[in-house]
Amino acid sequence: MTLEPTYGYFQLRGQVVGMMSDRAYTEGDNGLWNRIQFGVKISSNSIVYVELMGSKQDRVKMYKKIGKRVDKDDSITVPWSDRYSEKYSSYRNSFKVRLDIDENKEVSLFPYDSIKSIHEKLTDGTIVLIKGSLQIDEYQNKIQEKFVIKELYDCEFSDDSYSDEEAFFNQEIVYLSAHNGKIQTKLIYRKHGDIEIVPYEFSVKDNELINYFTENIQPNSTLRVHGVIKHYVPTETIDDNEVITGSAVKELVITGGSTKSIIQSRYSNEDLEDDRIIGNPFEEEKHDEKVNQWGF
């Protein structure tokens, strides 16, 4: 059976931090690519880091504009130098950024150009709303979450009360099991034309929700869930001072889902076996001529 990718998205609202860091903006290969990374302070003890990487290309894809949306089924490919040409004004890319409240307008820039704009205009303390792609991947046998910017808007400056705290996600999952406040899943991605399967554990704080999963959803079913992003350091107020009381916590907490999205027992166990070979099985071990761990 063909495995379908499981896509995830996020939305954050908070205060920008880290723009003064040397790691906030980087570029390489004589300016052919660039990258932006900074934090969004959701509350006094919670920061979620977002990022975006862009590169110059010979040609770029643009989509037909339909109001504020784009039609992904109607696209053209144009030379890099013509990406903002008037003759293609009825098309645009799908990335949006607004960094000037006074003008109150949003512009559609390609990631490479957006990164330069963000680097030049965005400052620590600005309240932003960010929407983007949640990418959960496995790198060097470690699971990592990436919050990749797709839309960025600055909001009116506010105080440090964080009254509009916002850190949400939604993600399609392949459900495996639920117990002890955790939901075991597998996520499916397409990378460079290949399918990758990533095991991932979500948290659930609601026992009734855990019971719903165990009683109503079969293993290897797919469904879309939503919840809150919890990246924080536990703190406690002691003598009017906020004191760190534990190690940093990073988890995605499921608070609900869409019953309409459920496809029961969509895949078999065999479908979900990840048979990738990690590393190069044909590379000889260094310093000797012994065969490697795959027997080559």
Give the chain's domain count: 1
Write out pLDDT tens, residues 117-170.
Answer: 899 989 999 999 999 999 998 888 889 999 999 988 888 644 444 445 689 999
Q: What is the pLDDT of residue 170?
A: 96
Q: Does residue 198 sit within a domain?
A: yes
Q: Does residue 138 sit within a domain?
A: yes
Range of the domain at 210: 8-261
Q: What is the pLDDT of residue 263?
A: 96
Q: What is the pLDDT of residue 103?
A: 56
Write out pLDDT tens, residues 72-122.
Answer: 889 999 999 999 899 988 888 767 776 654 455 667 788 999 899 899 989
Q: What is the pLDDT of residue 285?
A: 46
Q: Does residue 276 sit within a domain?
A: no
Of residues 124, 104, 114, 123, the one with CA closest to residue 149: 114
Q: What is the pLDDT of residue 105?
A: 60
Burial of 280 by CB count in 10 Å (0-12 exposed, 13-18 middle, 19+ buried)? exposed
Q: Does residue 286 sit within a domain?
A: no
Strand pairing category for 33-43 and 46-55: antiparallel
Q: Does residue 131 sit within a domain?
A: yes
Residue 266: pLDDT over 90: yes
Share of the chain above pLDDT 70, in %: 85
**pTM for this model (two decimals):** 0.84
Q: Does residue 86 sit within a domain?
A: yes
Q: Does residue 291 sit within a domain?
A: no
Helix/strand/coil for 80: helix
Q: Does residue 66 sit within a domain?
A: yes
- What is the C-alpha separation between 201 and 174, in angstroms, rounded? 11
The CATH number for 161's domain is 2.40.50.140
3-state helix, strand, coil in the chain (%, to 5): 10, 50, 40
